[in-house]
Amino acid sequence: MNPLIEFFSFSDPNIRYVVLGSVLLTASSAIVGTFTFLNKRSLIGDAIAHAVLPGICLGFIVAGTKNPLVLIIGAFITGWLSLIVVEYITRKTRIKEDTAIGLVLSVFFGIGILMLTVIQKSGNASQSGLDHFLFGKAAALVGSDLIAFLIVAGILLIVVYMMFKEFALLAFDKAYAKSIGYPVRTLELILTSLIVLAVVIGIQAVGVVLMAAILITPAAAARFWTDKVVIMVFLASAFGAFSGLAGAYISFVAPAMPTGPWIVIVISTIAFISFFLAPKRGVVYRLIRQNNIRQTINNENVLKVLYQLGEENKNFFIPRHLDEIIRRRKYEKSTLQSILRRLLNQGYVEQTGNLWSLSDAGKNKAQRVVKIHRLWELYLTTYMKIAPDHVHEDAETIEHLLTPELEAELEKQLGYAKLDPHQTNIPYHE
């Protein structure tokens, strides 16, 4: 049978357990991780992931078997304890939170490794596979694991749904939340408990080493695509679920490939794609936008030079040689020719042999740039009391940024002044 059909038919119970377990773990962890990310506490997930190991070992010692519920309770206790220790160290000493997290992470993880070694040498046959919590083994999920995961994932989803507004406000403006009477401390405790639960159910899939990636990476990827918290939560959950499904499938078609690490690789790939290609926030978009802004500034600067030369001769349409423009504003000839060709294509200049002149559209555009420049200089000297010889550079920047609405407000504020601080005419459209 085709592996793709065999996998997505979910006829094999083992495939169903692995897929459903992986999707539950990654999607629910991503939802809670979104608020961890927005609260700028990404390292907390890593600390908890390492701190739950001694709790898992303790749960095994108490139960004598790998009972999922007992292991979850033990992991939850030590995960919570690690956060209490981090907060105590941060509050009572001069040690900062990141340093406290590093200390707690290493100490708890060391204790966990020590306890795991003792258990492995104890002769208890039930301890087989307990070391999978270090690196995860989603392919070993069984029905009893799935029941525990369903319960915990359900708790996470219900609490987040009921307290979504409170968690969002806590992430963006804790001071305001406190001022309007929200129990900020209680909300923080609830959110912390959810983080611990998310980490606890996730470690069996990816292990304590990679759990922080499952918690934070989907949220980081989602942040590149939206500014809205609701959409960000849905995207993070979708990214997490897809990575869980894809990781399980890769592990199925290539049995030598472990599921947990592949889940992390898939979600990391999504994050890298988001980092480079997401609209508005992606690196590629920003580079394109910066290049467009640079081109616009160069275009307007050259138009401004042609306009100022026209002011001197009382004729804005006299053809100019490249050298005349370069004397006013330093450009390499090749760069200036490139700018002028771009302006020619846009209809702002006209070419006659080796000479260049403003078109009617170019004259109007250049006039607006010059007007804003001189109005802004006047505004700075009038209202900000800055000396006239110190306002040019600020005006050079603002002339490319001012919107038509702000331009109209500036004109009105200055009473449609005719002269700038240097007694030069401020041009208005007739």
In this structure, what token pair is assigned to residue 403?
A: 């919107």
Please tell me whether residue 351 adopts helix, strand or coil conformation. strand
Q: Does 269 share its domain with 294?
A: no
pLDDT tens for each residue of 114-146: 888 888 777 666 666 666 666 666 666 667 777
On the question of pLDDT at 364 being above 90, the answer is: yes
Strongest mean pLDDT among 1-10, 26-35, 113-122:
26-35
Q: Is residue 430's pLDDT more than 60?
A: no
Both tokens assigned to 128:
């087989």
The answer to whether residues 182 and 214 belong to one domain is yes
Burial string for 289-323 (b: 16+ CB within 10 Å, else e) reads eeeeeeeeebbbbbbbbbbebbeeeeebeebbeee
What is the structure's pLDDT at 427? 92
Check whether 376 has a pLDDT greater than 90.
yes
Mean per-residue pLDDT, 245-256: 83
- Give the relative orientation of helices 259-277 and 283-313 as an angle to the nearest 10 degrees: 10
Residue with tokens 């990816």: 206
Same domain, 179 and 324: no
Pick the closest to residue 349 from 336, 338, 337, 363 (CA basis). 363
State the amino acid at position 429 in one-letter form.
Answer: H
* pLDDT confidence tier of residue 51, bands split at 50, 70 and 90: confident
Query: Looking at this protein, which amino acid is placed at residue 60?
Result: F
Mean pLDDT, range 36-52, rounded to an integer: 83
CB 220 within 8 A of CB 233: no
Q: Are residues 242 and 270 in the same domain?
A: yes
Furthest CA-CA distance within the chain: 100
Please report which confidence band the pLDDT of residue 317 belongs to, taking 50, 70 and 90 as the band edges. Answer: very high
Let me know how long the chain is: 430
**Mean pLDDT (whole number) for 29-47:** 85
Both 179 and 241 in one domain: the answer is yes
Residues 47 and 175 in one domain: yes
Mean pLDDT of 260-282: 90
- Taking the C-alpha atoms of residue 293 and residue 301, their distance in angstroms, rounded to an integer, is 12
Residue 337 scores a pLDDT above 90: yes
135 and 176 in a common domain: yes
Domain count, the chain: 2
| Residues 102, 113 contacting (CB under 8 angstroms) | no
Are the beta carbons of 400 and 300 closer than 8 angstroms? yes
Structure tokens at 5: 């059909």
Q: Torsions phi, psi of 22, nearest 5?
A: -65, -45
Degrees, nearest 5: CA angle 112-114-115 = 65
Are residues 180 and 81 part of one domain?
Answer: yes
Residue 48 has pLDDT above 90, yes or no: no
Token representation of residue 220: 């980081």
Q: What is the CATH number of the domain that holds 312?
A: 1.10.10.10
The residue to which tokens 């081109």 are assigned: 295
Query: Would you state the torsion angle of the CA atoms of residues 30, 34, 36, 42, taken in this order, to the nearest 10 degrees?
Result: 70
Q: Which two tokens stand for residue 78?
A: 């030590």
pLDDT for 174: 85
DSSP element (H, E) containing 356: strand 355-358
Shared-domain flag, residues 184 and 269? yes
pLDDT of residue 338 exceeding 80, the answer is yes
Instruction: Decide which of 223, 258, 278 is a domain's last residue.
Output: 278
| Residues 337 and 317 reside in one and the same domain | yes
Q: What is the mean pLDDT of the chain?
A: 87
Which CATH number fits the domain that encloses residue 52? 1.10.3470.10
Asked if 236 and 33 touch (Cβ cutoff 8 Å), the reply is yes
Instruction: Tell me: do 92 and 208 sit in the same domain.
Output: yes
Q: Give the tokens for residue 399.
A: 């002339």
Average pLDDT over residues 208-227: 87
What's the rounded mean pLDDT across residues 39-61?
83
Q: How far is CA 125 from CA 160, 206, 207, in A?
A: 39, 23, 21
Q: Is the pLDDT confidence value at 16 over 90?
A: no
Across the range 75-84, mean pLDDT stands at 88
Query: Is the Cβ–Cβ distance between 199 and 49 less than 8 Å?
Result: yes
What would the DSSP string read from start to end of 47-60?
HHHHHHHHHHHHHH
Q: What was the pLDDT predicted at 60?
A: 83
- pTM of the predicted protein model: 0.79
Instruction: Report the pLDDT averaged over residues 80-101.
Output: 88
DSSP state letter for 419: B
Last residue of a domain, one of 311, 337, 362: 362
* pLDDT band with cut points at 50, 70 and 90 for residue 307: very high
Per the structure block, which two tokens stand in for 237?
A: 């959950």
Q: How far apart are alpha carbons 387 and 384 in whole angstroms?
A: 9
Average of per-residue pLDDT across 287-311: 93
Q: Which two tokens stand for residue 270?
A: 């999504």
19 confidence band (pLDDT: 50, 70, 90):
confident
Structure tokens that stand for 249 in this block = 């499938």
Residues 268 and 342 grouped into a single domain: no
Dihedral over Cα of 370, 372, 378, 381: its sign = negative
Task: Among 326, 342, 362, identify where a domain stops.
Answer: 362
Write out the DSSP string of 22-34. HHHHHHHHHHHHH
Which residue segment(s) compose the domain that 74 sits in? 14-278
Specify if 6 maps to a domain: no
CB 320 within 8 A of CB 303: no
Query: What contacts 129, CB < 8 A, 6 or more positions away?
Result: 66, 137, 140
CA atoms within 13 A on the CB side of 251: 27
Q: Is residue 422 part of a domain?
A: no
The residue type at 321 = H
Mean per-residue pLDDT for 387-400? 91
1-10, 55-64, 103-112, 366-375, range with greatest mean pLDDT = 366-375
The token pair at 373 is 């420049």
pLDDT at position 129 is 62
Is the torsion defined by CA of 109, 113, 118, 124 positive or negative?
A: positive
